[in-house]
Structure 1
């Protein structure tokens, strides 16, 4: 009997702590709204949305307000001290400010209603109950999934087109929040050196000098000033809502300005470095790239040239595959049993697609090296590892 009482007490304590946490987030949201509008705005019925990042994410109803506000709002409250750099609050706050300054038809994310740097709070428009892109891929409806993927690619293109040339604005917003304007991670040449060692030591694949030279050349190009626009960086399908007005992007905790073709390179093997990655049917990747391209050629007419787009995409794909592989492979190689076969198969898919695109452009050295890596991955985690299709395409 005493055990049962203790368990019930622990449960009540846990529920009380959760309620206190929700109450604290709501109170912070009300305070930021009062500061923004100069009047008390009461929020009720908080719902924990269980955000995947460091912030507490809560949906609440607007109970009373002298202003016209959406019926429900989303509050994101970040902890005061984070080891992560760049600071995800500053990055997300600057990102939402950048998009909220655009016209509603150009905004591909929720509107920022209010924010406060000292409290580390964002109050956002609530897009309501809508499926994510991940949900569409797991449903058994191939036509809906195809339409959603193409809508996602077009929305990504609109994001790039509307933020091209706005890097000074984004940097100014970051500086105002006390954040660094250089949002790049590890230097790409360092990534190159790390991956060549990893491939040699763990997969027994040597990297020819001509391949290393091409990677360094690609790194120089992708960090140049060409085709720069805003990138969410995290392109996982769980971070997109499929609303009546189209796909909307969420979670800009890693947003930055970079070469837009790095994002598009991910479409060669869409979402492959996401933990839940599965495969898409033949032709889907090409259709997504075409949908993206149709949105940006008005801003970057040079990309209307098929050869120029293919060349730029190959360099971006090279950097994407190398930088993402050096991020995920150490963990997979350290514990192959727990890794299973699907994640290694997704990484292998990326190297296979890189080989395919390189061979089409006549880059035999790049293609042969990528094929060797793909084969080594199959030898290590297989043999015969293949990435299954998303349920929507079964």
Structure 2
């Protein structure tokens, strides 16, 4: 702790004190610290594990791009460590979705979708800049843009199914290969990577994004899928009221049409969305299914929170009717029948903030 405070203080030319642990992760320690002038900053120190080093480089490069997130006040590549501006104690989108104010939750979702859409639209000419910044802060790990995680998940799924006693239907391997990068070559845009509700602050100045540990350029569809699924890789996952998912998806889409006018074509948009949902469903299955032998909450401390089995059942149900990928859809139906059928978990409930409203 002393090393972190001293290093961060040296970067700013001031003394830092009164650190408050904001609950980072196994990769990082995140502290809110007081400056000698009476203000506050956020200090984020990373471990030397490979994924932590990738996260450091992603965050340093992503914030240096200057498109979104807190202002980057200092970087020490050797520690490694970042110092960022402090957005204060604003509630997160997760806070309002898990709360009891439906108006705040709906407004928060729309603000989140519009902010992500504006970020995507304003970023498309900055891909080379991000690559250059990655080189500046490189710690020897490939970027998320270079990591073939979609192909790795596609390769892992058949063996995982076999371990669960599921015989993959004919054509699954070919469909998994066809999923590819979900339109990333045609419609790339910048994303902080982890655009989940707990990383979206609802400040007086508007929505502010934090956590750029997976910052990269990826298909706009992979981000837009968070609106429909919802929140494809997150822990704060419940069902949305009927029609609201479409509303927030349209809010995101409307922001990027000036940059990618072809996405106004309904056939283009829907095909890309189905492909992205397939990608994220495979990702969730590979990541969560091995951890469902014993069910448990998706977050170690936040409550309420769904369980791993509840979220997987919801993901499988959504993908079980995908006509574009019939073998994958059949795989989802097999998982629902042969695996989820023995779990005894009910459907994923709606977000607490929306009470008894009908969910889709």
TM-based fold match above 0.5: yes
| Deviation of 1:125 (Å) | 0.9
8 Å contact from structure 1 (residues 91, 253) kept in 2: yes
Q: Structure 1 pair 343/134, CA: closer, same or farther in 2 (3 Å)?
A: same
> Which residue does 1:379 correspond to in 2?
341
1:258 counterpart SS class: strand
> Which residue does 1:12 correspond to in 2?
none
Match for residue 193 of structure 1 among 155, 177, 181:
155
1:115 counterpart SS class: strand
* 2:352 is the alignment partner of 1:391: yes
Q: Structure 1 pair 380/112, CA: closer, same or farther in 2 (3 Å)?
A: same
In structure 1, how many angstroms separate the alpha carbons of the residues matched to 2:71 and 2:348?
A: 37
Match for residue 118 of structure 2 among 158, 168, 173:
158
* 2:68 is the alignment partner of 1:95: no
Q: Structure 1 pair 337/174, CA: closer, same or farther in 2 (3 Å)?
A: closer
* 2:109 is the alignment partner of 1:149: yes
In structure 2, how many angstroms separate the alpha carbons of the residues matched to 1:50 and 1:85?
A: 15
> Which residue does 1:3 correspond to in 2?
none
Give the number of aligned pairs. Answer: 347
| Deviation of 1:235 (Å) | 3.0
> Which residue does 2:288 correspond to in 1?
328
8 Å contact from structure 1 (residues 278, 342) kept in 2: no
> Which residue does 2:51 correspond to in 1?
84
Q: Which has the larger radius of gyration?
A: 1
| Deviation of 1:134 (Å) | 1.1
* TM-score, normalised by the number of residues in structure 2: 0.87
In angstroms, what is the RMSD of aligned CA positions? 2.6
Structure having the higher helix fraction is 1
Q: Structure 1 pair 223/349, CA: closer, same or farther in 2 (3 Å)?
A: same
Q: Structure 1 pair 199/267, CA: closer, same or farther in 2 (3 Å)?
A: farther
In structure 1, how many angstroms separate the alpha carbons of the residues matched to 2:202 and 2:296?
A: 35
Match for residue 42 of structure 2 among 63, 74, 79:
74
Residues 29-75 of structure 1, C-alpha deviation per residue, up to 9 Å, x if partnerless?
Answer: 111113xxxxxx233443332323522222223324xxxxx932111
In structure 1, how many angstroms separate the alpha carbons of the residues matched to 2:306 and 2:209?
A: 30
| Deviation of 1:86 (Å) | 5.5
Match for residue 370 of structure 1 among 329, 332, 355:
332
> Which residue does 1:351 correspond to in 2?
316
Unpaired runs of 5+ residues, structure 1, are 1-20, 35-40, 65-69, 100-106
| Deviation of 1:203 (Å) | 4.8
> Which residue does 1:28 correspond to in 2?
7
After superposition, where does 1:110-129 map in structure 2 within 5 Å?
110-129=70-89
In structure 2, how many angstroms separate the alpha carbons of the residues matched to 1:277 and 1:265?
A: 13
Residues 329-385 of structure 1, C-alpha deviation per residue, up to 9 Å, x if partnerless?
Answer: 1111x33488998321211211222234x24x6x65554443333333431312x52
Unpaired runs of 5+ residues, structure 2, are 299-304, 356-360
In structure 1, how many angstroms separate the alpha carbons of the residues matched to 2:254 and 2:62?
A: 24
In structure 2, how many angstroms separate the alpha carbons of the residues matched to 1:182 and 1:49?
A: 26
8 Å contact from structure 2 (residues 238, 306) kept in 1: no
2:90 counterpart SS class: coil
**Is 343-352 or 363-372 further displaced after alignment?**
363-372
> Which residue does 2:247 correspond to in 1?
287
